[in-house]
Amino acid sequence: EAQVTQNPRYLITVTGKKLTVTCSQNMNHEYMSWYRQDPGLGLRQIYYSMNVEVTDKGDVPEGYKVSRKEKRNFPLILESPSPNQTSLYFCASSLSSGSPLHFGNGTRLTVT
Amino acid sequence: GIQVEQSPPDLILQEGANSTLRCNFSDSVNNLQWFHQNPWGQLINLFYIPSGTKQNGRLSATTVATERYSLLYISSSQTTDSGVYFCAVNPYSSASKIIFGSGTRLSIRP
């Protein structure tokens, strides 16, 4: 089954403790991206990747890192999480930046 | 950067009613997509519609790129249509980025 898989679904952590949210897709998509969803703001793009080893900032990249060492994986790294990063996070992939997006099921992160 | 505005922000309807959701964007785009976020938080791609009209069952969408808007029509609403509807654009000036509107929350009452 074609899908985008995010893990974990729920995560509660404390300020400053490094964490990684994983994202994997099995559709051989070149484009992958991360978003955060906050009430009243819709989804905002954090980072995107056009292909392996090619990543770039979206609209809200501060406090986040990403890597794209393999085509199928695009992890989101929070090296020193803060409470303002409490949010619902989504990973998505598509054939290219101009193609239909496929979303993972989301990761709800709480930073205390 | 480009602004994407959706209206109305909230909509409450009785089952069986029809609705029109609007997405305005402030600059030229390469493409536009509509998504439905169900009450469990899943985001489902409804339409990929850079221009013209598409239909899928009770749902249809129209994008008029030259006038910078798109409309999503839902006919004969069902309770399962409840959730938040988002439009997202791929700006012509930043072809690798994707910008979402803030959404329309639709509640269908039985």
pLDDT tens track for A2-14: 899 999 999 999 9
pLDDT level of residue B93 (50, 70, 90 thresholds)? confident
DSSP-based three-state secondary structure for A96:
coil
Which position has the higher pLDDT, A77 or A39? A77
- Rounded to an integer, what distance in angstroms lies between the CA atom of residue B78 and that of residue B96? 36
Beta carbons of A64 and A47 less than 8 angstroms apart = yes
Q: What is the mean pLDDT of chain A?
A: 96
Tell me if A42 and B33 make a contact (CB, 8 A cut-off).
no
Least confident of A74-88, B7-21, B63-77, B87-101: B87-101
Residues of B within an 8 Å Cβ radius of A? 1, 30-31, 33, 35, 41-45, 48, 86, 88, 90, 95-103
- Rounded to an integer, what distance in angstroms lies between the CA atom of residue B32 and that of residue B70? 8
Nearest by CB to A97, from B45, B90, B103: name it.
B90
Q: Give how far Cα B86 sits from Cα of A99, A111, B23, Å.
A: 16, 26, 9
Mean pLDDT of A48-56: 95
Tell me if A97 and B97 make a contact (CB, 8 A cut-off).
yes
In terms of residues, how long is chain B?
Answer: 110
Position B24 scores a pLDDT of 98
